Chains A and B, each alone.
Chain A
């Protein structure tokens, strides 16, 4: 299932992006004025700092920025489970940045996103997809963080970074092998659930609104001209 979902994720996203960007370009301007130059820099600013959210929904903005920043840290953390990257260790840290708080912040932010959808009028705007994605992400983060929290905060040191590395590298080299520690630790069910939900998310990703990760920049560029 891991292989299948990664395949769907990479191939699906790739194909969808190629298809979308292959469509005929809009021949006319969609710009909003007044114009600020250089436009590409402002488009980057809009894409990564969400200034319009900061202006109109400041609380949502705090959670959004925390959520996306922590997501980035987690991606780095997962990459480091595969092996050592000197570039990430420029600031020396234990593997999984943030001493466990990254996962906690993500959980809180996801809860916030979910519960604000229960309130009108965002409630009327939402469709099932929005809830599914948030719940799915919450489950992934919760089970993933559990393993991290246990190691850091409760001194439950059964599963070490080295064990994950063995497992993940074996996956990467197409010779899946489960180290003894991974299967028999008290945390294996957490790991299994974490991986399972993550797979579901990866499979759904290319077909869902999560594609905004890739489309936000070109769209903001259209608005900036």
Chain B
């Protein structure tokens, strides 16, 4: 690595050093309380997957270039030079971490490993060593935001085709639109994923509840956040924020996507609208009596997988359980405390990388598979696209023989038409 590249990368590093990040980099005492926290370590038993070890890979570079000891006494903290080999280590640490923040619960100081890994991811972007596919996907999203008019016609035609499927789930009066779009002054803007399964069930539920809603032109998922690029993350986010402000909606409802929800709810700052997850909105409809559900459709034990970014990191914990109590009489929690729920093993962009990470994802999530088996459930429900894909893969790999379902589609299937 030449001097110029290193200086550029260190500038990126410097830009990340706000107050909280400095706390996290200065404080670790390597006490080892976090050892059992990471599902990758719990499943595979290799030291490099312990949270403190991952952090130390970034921290060693910090000690070398941002602390006086890097010059005076580099060996005391095992400072390390930033070079090609360090980049490889950073890649290994950052893309084996799903950013679930389970270790943050264990740490006596509350060090956020996901945040430290964001430095690693940013350095990789700076050195053009990140997984290209994630950047590519992020750029596609950004491009769509810039030139909406080109995409608009095609998108509208595509959505029109879905409408008859929505009506199948919930009959509507003649003249009503099953999937309203571009509605000025709607109460709720629904941001879905690019996939019929993400739009159809929820559209039916909105119609059943008589919601004054409108569908966003953009997909919720934020590949910028996966690849750890703050600039791209912001651009992708801005598309939705701008649309919501233009339509003057009161509430932005994010589909079943953990990343999208966390980025919108917590990383977007203060907005003139309320941000909710689709799960919260559905629970609200049940509570207000706006929809009725048929409880007799499900047989066997049902369990719920808390998506990390929605539960532990997003505070949507009671709503899915409330909904499930209206869908089944035999609900069992996976862990007594949702804060300690194991990550599915697919977050942080790992599922988005597809086949490339499949082997690692299966090996690293053995604890998750075991946890599901212990509940003796026949149906595993979740509310996140990534988790759903990963749980389906786990189901095949460990031959668990369970049904993996989206909460929203279960609600849609159980709608009682008056």
Contact = CB atoms under 8 A, between A and B. Distances in A.
Nearest to B269: A27
Interface in B250-284: 266-269
A28 interface: yes
Contact of A126 (B30, B105, B107, B109): B30
A125 interface: yes
B114 to A, nearest CB: 9
A225 to B, nearest CB: 9
B110 A219 contact: yes
B75 interface: yes
A151 B24 CA distance: 43
B1 interface: no
A33 interface: yes
Interface string A6-27: 0000000000000011011111
Interface stretch (A174-182, A193-201, A208-216): A208-216
Interface residues of A, number: 45
Interface residues of B, number: 53
B22 A20 contact: yes
Contacts, number: 139
A125 B50 contact: yes
A30 B20 contact: yes
Nearest to B69: A207
A30 B112 contact: yes
Consensus secondary structure, chain B interface: loop
Contact of B105 (A23, A52, A219): A52
Contact of A33 (B50, B106, B115, B312): B312
A50 B115 CA distance: 22
B27 A211 contact: yes
Interface string A38-75: 00000000100010110011001000000000000000
Interface of A: 20-21, 23-35, 46, 50, 52-53, 56-57, 60, 116, 120-122, 124-130, 132, 207, 209, 211-212, 215-216, 218-220, 222-223
Interface of B: 17-24, 26-33, 35-36, 47, 50, 52-53, 56, 67-69, 75-78, 101, 104-112, 115, 266-269, 311-315, 317, 338-339
